[in-house]
């Protein structure tokens, strides 16, 4: 089993479209949508969801109005500005509370209790293209990294159970907590970028992150023909980081509309060939295969 | 300026809008709170006048009074401090800086030290005041730096704040307390789905919203229906234009290269000052 994560630093570079196309090309894979607060991969992969399961993480403070004397000690102790006066007592805002317990620690009336925090929900979707593990993070929730870790663990379990060759992770934008959870321990990271100044800037940060976690990375330049100058800038960044350019995909104004038909670009001539070349490079260049593995793959094919 | 989906054009709009508003009168700033991928500086090219390292508080053992009782570790809900043997071990990347461990220590031997997580910069780009936050690579928790960056915006009468994408804690921290959240969206299935999530987030926080539709001709009409269903005013539409993409590629303000975009942003600024003047004074 090989795990590949697709990230970008900058948002909107085409991670999800590319991930959807890779799922179709991989054949034997379990996909993970690790962009849990804007999860879109399921829109490209129609199928049947199993029942949605709650994902609980951490706790939230609940202040008992019957016991609260509004002394304000908790308000002073809370460093997340979650506690505020509401009517005659204090109230803890679940969107701001991080469940640290400071309010309970200082409350002399024993008025604070805790409830499990439902950070989101998740499910497994199956379709002719394979299996997708995806989730919905609750609004303004802070547990995206933990949810991503959970989804990836589930995907590895399913891939091992079903003998799938690939786990493909559609990562979040940025370089923070959920991005860490999306790339730790993978066999390779595909950084999707675009030929813009911002694309090159965020590519640098994404490659730095992959380096930080000791994961090998490759670059896909999307919308490559929008600017020759921008494309050169991206190539410069890649070569400075000694990271291979896995391929380039041209901009096609038909793509946004084709996404509406749950297509991934593989249906568009010119785009298809470049995506196939990128996927081939993921296998050949990014993760490579040892001779033994090649042999096993060949045996499997026979 | 926010959006559920990444890459819809938040930075394009926020930098252009800040420049346009600043050309009409003093006291306008652009504040880049997308600390994981801060790009506004590439377009505004500010002169940086002030650079400060941002820090969060993490516990540290002070003096030698630790008895190894483990009450701090018991109190910590994030597994960030472990007691044993000669004292305590702190895992700073797990720490939420809540201070509970410090209060739990009966020996009063835990203190707090500053731990650097990013950089906060101030500057000036022509008439536009400039602030940005940049999270250190490898750092997981963006929220404290986002909050510090947003706090800087209160130094100006009018701040255009560039938020991180998504609807999780970081996006919440960036929009919380805004007078108006301008959602930049695009008419694709992804754009529609993520706009809905953004509207849910702003609804839960009780924030007024308005929308700008980018690449308005590259998709279907469902985004417009969602906006009208939810009674969110659509203040501007920007059709796809290769010239805008080229300007972004070159790292220049697209309003300086594309007169149609400049006109659109001007009308948007009019709308904001007319319709939302009570918020912006």
Q: Could you tell me whether strands A166-170 and A130-137 are parallel, antiparallel, or unpaired per DSSP bridges?
A: unpaired
Confidence at residue A300, expressed as pLDDT on a 0 to 100 scale: 60
Mutation to test the A interface, candidates B135, B190, B200, most A Cβ within 10 Å: B190
Helix (H, G, I), strand (E, B) or coil at B184: strand
Question: Is B186 part of the contact surface with chain A (CB cutoff 8 Å)?
Answer: yes
CB-based contact B220 A260, cutoff 8 Å: yes
Q: Find the angle CA(B189)-CA(A56)-CA(A48) to the nearest 5 degrees.
A: 40
Residue A290 confidence (pLDDT) above 60: no
Condensed to tens digits (0 to 9), the pLDDT of residues B208-233 reads 999 999 999 887 778 999 999 999 99
Percent of chain A with pLDDT over 70: 95
Question: Is B214 part of the contact surface with chain A (CB cutoff 8 Å)?
Answer: no
Mean pLDDT of chain A: 92
Instruction: Give which of B206, B276, B248 is closest to B21, Cα–Cα.
Output: B276
Confidence at residue B268, expressed as pLDDT on a 0 to 100 scale: 96
d(CA B133, CA B145): 7
Residue A193: strand pairing partners? A221
Helix (H, G, I), strand (E, B) or coil at A82: coil
Mean pLDDT of B155-162: 95
Q: If you average pLDDT over each of A262-266, B60-64, B227-231, which comes out highest?
A: B227-231
B34-53 residues touching A, CB cutoff 8 A = 36-37, 39, 42-43
Chain B contact set for A106 (CB, 8 A): 103
Considering the entire predicted model, what is its pTM?
0.93
Instruction: Give which of A52, A228, A60 is closest to A142, Cα–Cα.
Output: A60
Chain A contact set for B186 (CB, 8 A): 256
Mutation to test the B interface, candidates A6, A20, A38, A97, most B Cβ within 10 Å: A38
d(CA A150, CA A34): 10
Residue A180 confidence (pLDDT) above 50: yes
Confidence at residue A298, expressed as pLDDT on a 0 to 100 scale: 58
Percent of chain A with pLDDT over 90: 82
> In this structure, what token pair is assigned to residue A178?
């959920």
Classify B8 in phi/psi space as left (phi over 0), alpha (psi -120 to 50) or beta: alpha
Closest partner residue to B11 (CB to CB) among A77, A195, A198 is A198
Residue A302 confidence (pLDDT) above 90: no
Condensed to tens digits (0 to 9), the pLDDT of residues B23-46 reads 999 999 999 999 999 999 999 999
Condensed to tens digits (0 to 9), the pLDDT of residues A67-123 reads 999 999 999 999 999 999 998 899 999 999 999 999 999 999 999 999 999 999 999
Question: Is B278 part of the contact surface with chain A (CB cutoff 8 Å)?
Answer: no
CB-based contact A256 B218, cutoff 8 Å: yes
d(CA B94, CA B117): 13
CB-based contact A197 B142, cutoff 8 Å: no
Condensed to tens digits (0 to 9), the pLDDT of residues B68-122 reads 899 999 999 999 999 877 789 999 989 999 999 999 999 889 999 999 999 999 9
Closest partner residue to B138 (CB to CB) among A98, A172, A212 is A212
> In this structure, what token pair is assigned to residue A151?
């989804």
Residue A297 confidence (pLDDT) above 70: no
């Amino acid at each position: 089993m090989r795990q590949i994560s697709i990230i970008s630093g900058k948002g909107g570079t085409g991670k999800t479209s590319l991930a959807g196309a890779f799922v179709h090309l991989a054949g034997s894979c379990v996909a993970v949508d690790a962009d849990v607060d804007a999860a879109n991969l399921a829109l490209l992969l129609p199928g049947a969801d199993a029942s949605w399961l709650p994902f609980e993480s951490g706790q939230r403070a609940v202040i008992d109005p019957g016991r609260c004397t509004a002394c304000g000690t908790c308000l002073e102790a809370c460093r997340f500005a979650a506690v505020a006066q509401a009517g005659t007592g204090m109230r803890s805002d679940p969107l701001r509370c991080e469940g640290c317990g400071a309010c309970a620690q200082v409350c002399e009336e024993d008025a604070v209790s805790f409830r499990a925090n439902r950070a989101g929900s998740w499910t497994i979707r199956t379709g002719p293209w394979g299996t997708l593990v995806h989730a919905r993070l609750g609004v303004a929730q802070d547990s995206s990294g933990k949810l991503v870790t959970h989804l990836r663990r589930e995907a590895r379990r399913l891939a091992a159970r079903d003998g799938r060759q690939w786990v493909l992770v559609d990562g979040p934008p940025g370089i923070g907590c959920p991005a860490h959870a999306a790339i730790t321990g993978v066999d390779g990271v595909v950084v999707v970028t675009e030929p813009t100044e911002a694309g090159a800037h965020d590519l640098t940060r994404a490659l730095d992150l992959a380096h930080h976690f000791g994961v090998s990375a490759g670059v896909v330049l999307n919308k490559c023909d929008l600017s020759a100058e921008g494309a050169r800038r991206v190539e410069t960044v890649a070569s400075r980081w000694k990271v291979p350019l896995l391929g380039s995909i041209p901009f096609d104004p038909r793509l946004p509309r084709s996404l509406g038909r749950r297509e991934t670009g593989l249906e568009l001539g010119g785009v298809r060939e470049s995506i196939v070349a990128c996927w081939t490079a993921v296998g050949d260049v990014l993760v490579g295969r040892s001779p033994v593995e090649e042999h096993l793959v060949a045996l499997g094919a026979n | 300026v926010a959006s559920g989906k990444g890459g819809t054009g938040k930075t394009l709009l926020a930098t252009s809008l800040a420049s346009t508003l600043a050309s009409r009168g003093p006291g306008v700033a652009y504040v880049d709170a997308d600390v994981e991928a801060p790009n506004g500086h590439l377009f505004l090219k500010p002169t940086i006048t002030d650079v400060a390292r941002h820090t969060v508080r993490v516990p540290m053992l002070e003096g030698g009074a630790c008895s190894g009782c483990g009450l701090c570790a018991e109190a910590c809900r994030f597994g960030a401090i472990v007691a044993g043997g000669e004292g305590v071990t702190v895992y700073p990347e797990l720490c939420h800086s809540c201070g509970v461990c410090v209060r739990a220590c009966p020996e009063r031997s835990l203190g707090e030290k500053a731990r650097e997580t990013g950089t906060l910069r101030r500057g000036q780009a022509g008439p536009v005041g400039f602030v940005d936050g940049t999270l250190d690579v490898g750092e997981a928790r963006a929220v404290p730096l986002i909050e510090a960056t947003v706090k800087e915006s209160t130094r100006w009468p009018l701040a255009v704040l560039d938020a991180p994408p998504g609807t999780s804690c970081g996006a919440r921290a960036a929009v919380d307390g805004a007078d108006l959240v301008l959602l930049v969206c695009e008419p694709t299935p992804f754009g529609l789905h993520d706009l809905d999530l953004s509207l849910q987030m702003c609804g839960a926080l009780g924030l007024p919203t308005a929308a700008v539709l980018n690449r308005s001709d590259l998709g279907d009409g469902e985004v417009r229906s969602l906006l009208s269903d939810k009674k969110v005013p659509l203040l501007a539409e920007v059709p796809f234009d290769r010239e805008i993409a080229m300007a972004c590629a070159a790292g220049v303000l697209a309003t300086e290269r594309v007169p149609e975009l400049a006109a659109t942003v001007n009308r948007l600024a009019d709308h904001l000052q007319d319709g939302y003047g009570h918020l912006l004074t």
